[in-house]
Amino acid sequence: MAKFIFTYGTEGQPFYGGWTEIEAPNRQAAYAAFKAFHPAKPNGCLPFCECYTEEQFAASGMNDEKGNFGQHCHERICLTRELTGGGR
> pLDDT digit of tens for each residue in the chain (88 aa)?
899 999 999 999 999 999 999 999 999 999 999 999 999 999 999 999 999 999 999 999 999 999 999 999 999 999 888 888 866 6
Rounded-to-integer distance, Cα 12 and Cα 8, Å = 9
Give domain status of residue 66, yes or no: yes
Give domain status of residue 14, yes or no: yes
pTM of this prediction? 0.90
Quote the pLDDT of residue 75.
98
Quote the pLDDT of residue 88.
63
Residue 86 burial (10 A CB sphere; 0-12, 13-18, 19+): exposed
| CA distances from residue 31 to 6, 49, 64 in whole angstroms, order as listed | 9, 13, 24
Question: What is the count of structural domains for the chain?
Answer: 1
Give domain status of residue 84, yes or no: no
Segments forming the whole domain that contains residue 42:
2-78
Quote the pLDDT of residue 85.
80
Compute the C-alpha angle 56/21/42, nearest 5°: 100
